[in-house]
Structure 1
Amino acid sequence: MYVVAVNGSPRKGGNTEIMLEEALKPLKSAGWETELVQLGSKRIRGCMACGKCWENKDSRCIVDNDVFNEVMETMLRADAIILGSPTYFTDVSAEMKALLDRSGMVALANGRLFRGKIGAAVVAVRRGGGTHVFDTINHMYLMSQMIVPGSLYWNLGMGLDKGDVNNDSEGLGNMKNLGETIAWLGAAMKPHLQSFPEDNAFFG
């Protein structure tokens, strides 16, 4: 199975990336193919609400001069998606918000492409506001019919300067448990991934 972790922080090697790497370690040990994708600081615009993804239905965004479609391809291939962001004024980074809006829209427009995938949110926070970031990411997952696993606590790591999260043993322990939970859930789901109920099973 394959898991992709997307780092929405522009600070490469920072607290968000450290946490994502910690979450990936148990999955790699369990035999999963793992990948960390750097999104923060990359060129990605917000959704234009043009509706072309609903017309074209090619699992892509019509805006093709930034990194979105490349990242979207990895998300579509993945069995599990971990999106990580720092806390900026109590919300996700601008790059992560653009990814959430565009990936969610393209997935919905093409028959709910994220349906049945595992989705987890990881948040770096200095002090307060991290649970709102956590909610922002999970909202896209939940309305996309994804499966959101729990862990020991909210998936938050505390720190300001680069590397500070290494002093948050509880936060890093939660990342380890999150990775273990995703691995367990993936193994439990694997025999049933091709039998996820169609939309009409819910809406008659």
Structure 2
Amino acid sequence: MYALAINGSPRKDGNTALLLQEVLTPLTRAGWETELVQVGGKDIRGCIACYQCFENKDNQCSIQTDIFNEVMAKMLQAQAIILGSPTYFTDVTAELKALLDRSGLVSQANGVPFRGKIGAAVTAVRRAGATHVFDTINHMFLMSQMIVPGSTYWNMGYGFDKGEVSKDQAGIVNMRHLGSVINWLGAAVHDHLAQYPEPEGTII
């Protein structure tokens, strides 16, 4: 089983990355292959609505000049996708929004390969606005027929300065619990599909 965490923060080792690592830790201990990929601060442009993905149907975006297709390939491989963002004016970073729009559309264009994957949103916040960030990420998951697990609270951690989120004990506990839930859910989904394989061409 492979869990992919994607950091939408331009701060490579900031609060968002710290929260994502806390989610991955229980999964690594449970034997999952885990990876944290940096998107924030990287070259990734927004969707241009060319709809070439609906014509090409190759699980790729027609824009070949940035990192999107490399990240998309990892998302397609993963059984669990954890997307993290700091709170920028009550929403996700521009880089993560580009990833959400393009990956969601490419998935829709190719028979919804995100269907049945586990999707979890994580956000770091100084004071307010994190719930909207959380919703923005989950919108793509839910429209892509993904399974969105809960935890002890909304998946947010409070902190401003680099590393400050580690002082938010309730937030850290939430992240570790989220990782444990993803592990439990991944095993349950795997066992269910082994016993009840999805009929070809059926949307569940």
TM (norm. structure 1) is 0.96
Distance 2:4 2:148 in 1: 15
Query: Residues 5-40 of structure 1, C-alpha deviation per residue, up to 9 Å, x if partnerless?
Result: 000000111000000000000000100000000010
Once the two structures are TM-superposed, the CA of residue 193 in structure 1 deviates from its matched residue by 3.5
Distance 1:189 1:78 in 2: 13
Equivalent in the alignment of 1:73: 73
Distance 1:31 1:48 in 2: 39
Equivalent in the alignment of 1:46: 46
- One-letter amino acid matched to 1:159: G
Equivalent in the alignment of 2:116: 116
Judge which range, 23-32 or 183-192, deviates more.
183-192
Q: Once superposed, which parts of structure 1, at least 4 consecutive aligned residues long, lie more than 4 Å away? A: 197-202
Pair 1:167 & 2:167 matched:
yes
Pair 1:104 & 2:99 matched:
no
Distance 1:9 1:73 in 2: 20
Paired residue secondary structure (1:120): strand
Distance 1:193 1:108 in 2: 22
Percent sequence identity over matched residues? 67
Equivalent in the alignment of 1:18: 18
Distance 2:49 2:22 in 1: 36
Distance 1:135 1:109 in 2: 23
Distance 2:39 2:22 in 1: 18
Evaluate the alpha carbon distance shift between residue 201 and residue 113 of structure 1 in structure 2; reply closer, same or farther with a 3 A threshold: closer
Give ranges in structure 2 of 5+ residues lacking alignment.
Answer: none
Once the two structures are TM-superposed, the CA of residue 192 in structure 1 deviates from its matched residue by 2.9
Pair 1:193 & 2:193 matched:
yes
Figure out how many residues of one structure are paired with residues of the other and give that number: 202
Give ranges in structure 1 of 5+ residues lacking alignment.
Answer: none
Paired residue secondary structure (2:34): strand
- One-letter amino acid matched to 2:29: S
